[in-house]
Amino acid sequence: MTVGKINVKTAAMCGSLGIFTAVLSAYILGFIMPAFPELMEQYSADIEALIKSSVTLLLYVLILAPIIEEALFRYLIFNIIRKFLKDRWAIIIQAVLFGLYHGNIVQIIYAFLLGLLLGWIRAKTEHLLYCLIFHGLFNITGVMLDNFAKTERTLYMSILMPLLTFAASVYIVWSINRSYGGCDQQTDL
């Protein structure tokens, strides 16, 4: 089903992928935190300050930041690079810049990986809206799951939820890839 030029199924898949990616990121951060206490302490302080800050700032991070970041990285930068290089290079370069933009080492790493996925979605679908849906739901879910890294893990939380999340994410990426003609020479990483 499409609404205008937007495929509702693709929009739903990208939203779901944003949520699943946030869950997987929270799970991975929960395991990384004990290994790098100084880095994770700074990251946690940044996130806690954000959550405790004003509603206006929280709305900025959850709504306005994805709009600005997607316009800058997946529209402007991606399109400029794409004029001179293949899509794979546009995806990689904008992802590196997106990671560096986030500032602290923890966010640099996962923002780079997130940038790769968002760049791939942009190249595959040719729609910025799908990236906005993914990014917005990723941020909202990430804020909601921030306490996940600090909680005691049950068997479900430690093993089953990440496996189900990973399997669902792989299926969604496969479905998007199949819906948009598989990997072609331009977008094949």
Over the chain (189 residues), what is each successive 10-residue block's mean pLDDT? 71 85 79 75 71 68 87 96 96 96 84 94 93 89 65 55 69 76 48
User: pTM value?
Assistant: 0.77
> For residue 150, what pLDDT is reported?
53
How high is the pLDDT of residue 187? 44
Please give the C-alpha separations between residue 119 and each of 6, 74, 92, in angstroms, as whole numbers: 18, 6, 8
Residue 188, classed as helix, strand or coil, is coil
Q: Decide if 67 is inside a domain.
A: yes
138 domain-assigned = yes
- Tell whether 155 is covered by a domain: yes
Asked whether residue 113 is assigned to any structural domain, the reply reads yes
Is the residue at 188 inside a domain?
no
Residue 71, in any domain of the structure? yes
Render pLDDT for 157-183 as a digit per residue (tens, 0 to 9). Answer: 555 566 667 777 777 777 777 777 654
Q: What's the CA gap between 110 and 60, in Å, rounded?
A: 20
Mean pLDDT of the chain: 79
The structural domain count of the chain equals 1
> Which tens digits make up the pLDDT trace of 137-158?
888 887 777 655 555 555 455 5
189 assigned to some structural domain = no
Question: Domain span at residue 81?
Answer: 2-179
Q: Is the dihedral of CA 13, 19, 20, 21 positive or negative?
A: positive
Looking at residue 157, what is its pLDDT? Answer: 55
Residues 6 or more apart from 137 whose CB is under 8 A from it?
A: 15, 18, 19, 22
**166 belongs to a structural domain:** yes
The answer for residues whose C-beta is within 8 angstroms of residue 72's C-beta and 6 or more apart is none
Cα separations in angstroms, 179 against 124, 149, 167, 183: 9, 35, 18, 11
Task: Determine how many CB atoms are found less than 10 A away from the CB of residue 101.
Answer: 15
pLDDT of the residue at 32:
73
